[in-house]
Chain A
Amino acid sequence: MSENYKFDTLSLHAGHIPDKETGSRAVPIYQTTSYVFNSTEEAASLYNMEVGGHLYTRISNPTVAALEQRLAALEGGASALACSSGMAAMHLVISAICSSGDHIVASSKMYGANINLLQHTMPRFGVNTDFVNPNDPEAIKKAIKPNTKLVFGEVIGNPGLDIMDVPETAKICNSENIPLVLDATFNTPYLMQPFKHGANIIVHSLTKWLGGHGIAIGGAIVNGGNFDWGDKDKFPTISGPHFALGGISFWEEFGPSALIAKIRAEGMYNFGPSLSPTNAFHLMQGIETLPLRMKKHIENTHSILDFLVNHEMVKWVKHPDLETHPDHEVAKRILPKGSGSIVAFGIKGGREAGKLFIESVQLASHLANVGDAKTLLIHPGSTTHSHLSSEAMKEGGLTDDMIRLSVGLEDINDIKKDFERGFKAVKKLNK
């Protein structure tokens, strides 16, 4: 991968140089739906994908493009496409590559909506998925069939924090000529750059740490450009003739950026999950401080892990940086800067204790998001999974005493004090 400027510099600058006319230092928000053509020929050349440029904001926009080019630079990818949410990004990738009759191998330990899309929605369109343990490369290999079109996983799984052995999985995918698609939301390019480990496509929920302030929903696809789509029988949507544009073969005409070209020409045209320019601006503001924030997220996480592991009211603590985590060795190898700022822990006293803890803390916010600059908490047993029995939760790999913590950037002693308030309340209950 070619890089001249370092990560911290690219986080601030990539994708934008002040223009000569206005000198605007910040990336301007091009709040427009469309762009005036200078001539009919120019319009035609954009429609025909003869040259790059903007014709309609559903397809591309200068502010959104600055964000995309920043992400491509940070990940070391050939090209990127930003869209309305992390889920939109995932659906765009799957629908670009797979058609009815195709098969996917995916991690069984992923974010609920990722699982739901593959397990329940895609089968209605004839695309079926086999789920396997993400840290068992052999199982992944065994699950691959002749009609498998991609392998999908989360680098750090949500919420179980399972770590996918990316280099080993990439080797398998490479030998089978199948792209490895990774949801890298929890690691961000600051903690780990999947293309350096052999992955081919990255999807991000920008909503989380990349945006980092809980103010805008967004998603992105970054295309490594390192996958050979040339097998027309296996990947007809990328290398075979497209239904429009004179039967263009994206692989022949755009090579490393074939996937993104395909997604712009089909997904963005026909489904239209575009990102608003204003949200692109907000997300880019977040990325400017990504390296600083991630450093502090990890520092605070390690400090709170120490606190929780040694706390009398805590039954168990789960984080890949702890030696007790089953994937600790993989985490050390592929995430040497730290394995993110989500922590799961069990509180003594079960479901009732979890509920009381959440209701007793003041600083940490009780909500359904992760990756905010502010500390966030949720107790699945009394919220997202409250309809399930303890046994049913266990089957899904969750326990009713579990609290999911997204460690923020506050003074960590204030967070510890806040937690003590919660633990005190639970202690009273347990008595």
Chain B
Amino acid sequence: MIINFKGAKTYIGTGGKSLDNTKKTFCFLHGAGQNHLSFIQQARFFAYKGYSVVVPDMPAHGFSDGNPCKSIKENAEWINDLLVELKLKNVIITGHSQGCLVALELNKIFKYPLEAIIFVAGSNEIPVNQFLLDLSKENPQKASQMMVIWGHGIDGDMSINKWPGHSHYGEGNNIMCMNQPTALNCDLNSCNDYSDGKDATKKIKVPTLAVLAKNDQMTPLKSGLKFVELMENCETHILDCGHFIPSERPLELNSIINSFLSKLE
């Protein structure tokens, strides 16, 4: 659905069902340079399982207008205000990559306790190398192409896909090209500059799940494993794939999330 939010056209994917704020709501937060299409195989899946689903395109991403947020905290405030605007109370946050950092900050400011936080290919810090930071400013398209290659495991190179006929590279590139050209550089700088992750992680009091990837070159597994150690009882799974777990291992991810949630009931 499209709403006017903070004066800008804002797109929110709802998984093909209408939003019902009386239900438990899955809120998916996309990663750097991505948009709601990162979660193609999660949005409909959980909407059809009876949850309410919101997958916002952050400002200047996907179908949303506006200026890109300039820090992780600004992203979290934007999401916080959106959840308030939509009158959502019982929220399960699922972040992918940068979305995990945003989730850490959101957890500090959202006025209701989150039902759970699910970290996909996440960490408490995402340093970005200077080469990619520079390239994302000078040539965002080229930077996107490189991220799409680094971001996928062997299934990217070999054009293996659980969705018949789809190509991770071709699809991934075009998803990133839908964003405004300045969005990627803003996102990567936000990730690189964020340094409150350790403290924010230690503040988490709600149930957590982490799904990490063995061949993650964007948020390396080593960093993800240190991150989960900062939380008490974070259920952790490691999948054999690259950074883009939601599209590389959709069925495994959905099933891990499902069984995690069933244990909370």
**A residues bordering B, Cβ < 8 Å?**
1-5, 10, 13-17, 44-45, 48-54, 60-62, 64-65, 68-70, 72-73, 76-82, 224-226, 230, 245-246, 248, 252-257, 260, 264
Q: Which residue of A lies closest to B166 (CB)?
A: A79
Given contacts A79-B171, A248-B16, A256-B174, contact A13 B158 (CB under 8 A): yes
CB pair A52 B163 closer than 8 Å: yes
Q: How far is the CA of A256 from the CA of B250 in the complex (A)?
A: 18
User: B56 interface residue, CB < 8 Å from A?
Assistant: no
Determine the distance from Cα of A164 to Cα of B192 in the docked complex, in whole angstroms. 47
A214 to B43, CA, bound (A): 44
A44–B12 Cα distance when bound, in Å, is 24
B171 near A78 (CB under 8 angstroms)? yes
A48-B44, A49-B44 known; A15+B160 contact, CB < 8 A: yes
What's the Cα separation between A14 and B158 when bound, in Å?
5
Task: Choose among B48, B162, B163 the residue with the greatest number of A CB atoms under 10 Å from its CB.
Answer: B163
Are A253 and B169 within 8 A (Cβ)? no
| Chain B residues within 8 Å of A, Cβ to Cβ | 11, 13, 16-17, 35, 37, 40-41, 43-45, 48, 62-63, 145-146, 148-149, 154-167, 169-175, 177-178, 250-251, 254
Contact (Cβ within 8 A) B165 A79: yes
B contact residues around A16 at 8 Å (CB): 158, 160
Q: Which of chain B's residues has its CB closest to A76's CB?
A: B170
Q: Cα distance A2–B173 when bound, in Å?
A: 7
CB pair A69 B44 closer than 8 Å: no
Contact B166 A78 (CB under 8 A): yes
- CA A230 to CA B11, docked complex, whole Å: 12
Min distance, Cβ B20 to any Cβ of chain A, angstroms = 14
How far in angstroms is the closest Cβ of chain B from A369?
A: 26
Q: Given that A2-B148, A253-B13 are contacting pairs, would A225 and B45 also be in contact in the complex, using a CB cutoff of 8 Å?
A: no
CA distance A72 to B45 in the complex (A): 25
Q: Is the CB of B162 within 8 A of A77?
A: no
User: 18 A-B pairs, CB-CB below 8 angstroms?
Assistant: A3-B169, A15-B158, A15-B160, A17-B155, A17-B158, A44-B48, A48-B48, A52-B250, A53-B162, A53-B164, A60-B165, A65-B161, A73-B169, A78-B174, A80-B167, A245-B16, A253-B43, A256-B37
Q: A45-B45, A50-B45, A245-B16 are in contact. Are A1 and B173 (CB under 8 A)?
A: yes
Give chain A residues whose Cβ lies under 8 Å from the Cβ of B40.
253-255
Whether the Cβ atoms of A14 and B162 lie closer than 8 Å is no
Known: A17-B154, A52-B166, A255-B37. A69 touches B171 (CB 8 A): no
Contacts of A80 in B (CB 8 A): 165, 167
Residues of A within 8 A of B178 (CB): 255-256
CA–CA, A253 and B45, complex, Å = 12
Please tell me if the beta carbons of A65 and B13 are within 8 angstroms of each other in the complex.
no
Q: Which of A45, A50, A69, A253 contacts B167 (CB 8 A)?
A: A69
Contact present for B159 and A257 (CB under 8 Å): no
Residues of B contacting A72 in the complex (Cβ-Cβ under 8 angstroms): 159, 165-167, 170
Instruction: Return chain A residues, CB-CB under 8 Å to B43.
Output: 253
CA distance A349 to B10 in the complex (A): 71
Which residues of the partner chain A approach B13 to less than 8 Å between Cβ atoms? 252-253
Expressed in whole angstroms, the Cα–Cα distance for A48 and B17 within the complex equals 12
CB distance from B190 to the nearest CB of A (A): 23
Whose C-beta in chain A lies nearest to the C-beta of B141? A1
**How many angstroms between the C-alpha atoms of A72 and B148 in the bound complex?**
15
Q: Are A77 and B170 in contact (CB under 8 A)?
A: yes
Please give the distance in Å from A290's CB to the nearest CB on chain B: 15
CA distance A260 to B164 in the complex (A): 10
Bound-state CA distance A237–B23 (Å) is: 31
Across-interface contacts of B169 in A (CB, < 8 A): 1-3, 73, 76
In the assembled complex, which residues on chain B have CB atoms less than 8 Å from the CB atom of A224? 170, 174
Task: Specify which of B40, B43, B146, B164 lies most central, judged by the most chain A CB atoms within 10 Å of its CB.
Answer: B164
Question: How many angstroms between the C-alpha atoms of A58 and B254 in the bound complex?
Answer: 26
A79 to B17, CA, bound (A): 25
Kindly list chain B residues whose C-beta atoms are within 8 Å of the C-beta of A78: 166-167, 170-171, 173-174
Please measure, in the bound complex, the distance between the C-alpha atom of A275 and the C-alpha atom of B169, giving whole angstroms: 25
Q: Which of B40, B159, B170, B254 has the most CB of A within 10 A?
A: B170
Q: With A2-B169, A14-B159, A72-B170 as given contacts, are A50 and B48 in contact (CB-CB < 8 Å)?
A: yes
Which 7 residue pairs are nearest across A and B when measured between Cβ atoms? Answer: A52-B163, A256-B174, A225-B174, A68-B165, A65-B164, A60-B164, A72-B167
Q: Which of A50, A53, A70 is the one whose CB lies under 8 Å from B44?
A: A50
Closest Cβ–Cβ distance, residue B218 to chain A (whole Å): 14
Known pairs A69-B160, A69-B164 / 19 extra A-B pairs, C-beta < 8 Å: A2-B169, A5-B158, A16-B158, A17-B155, A50-B44, A51-B162, A52-B41, A52-B161, A68-B165, A72-B165, A77-B170, A225-B171, A226-B174, A252-B11, A253-B13, A253-B40, A255-B62, A260-B165, A264-B165
B157 A5 Cβ-Cβ under 8 A: yes
In the complex, which residues of chain A have a beta carbon less than 8 angstroms from the beta carbon of B157? 4-5
CA distance A16 to B160 in the complex (A): 6
Contact indicator A4/B156 (Cβ below 8 Å): yes
Q: Which B-chain residue is minimally distant from A13 (CB atoms)?
A: B158
Residues of A within 8 A of B254 (CB): 51
Which of chain A's residues has its CB closest to B41's CB? A51
Q: Which residue from B63, B164, B166, B172 sits with its C-beta under 8 Å from A2?
A: B172
Return the chain A residue nearest B163 by Cβ: A52
Q: Is the CB of A256 within 8 A of B16?
A: no
* B44 proximity list for chain A (CB < 8 A): 48-51, 253
Q: Which of A1, A3, A10, A225 has most B Cβ within 10 Å? A: A225
Chain A residues in 8 Å Cβ range of B250: 51-52
A1 in contact with B170 given A14-B159, A48-B44, A253-B40 (CB within 8 Å) = yes
* B171 nearest in chain A by CB position: A78
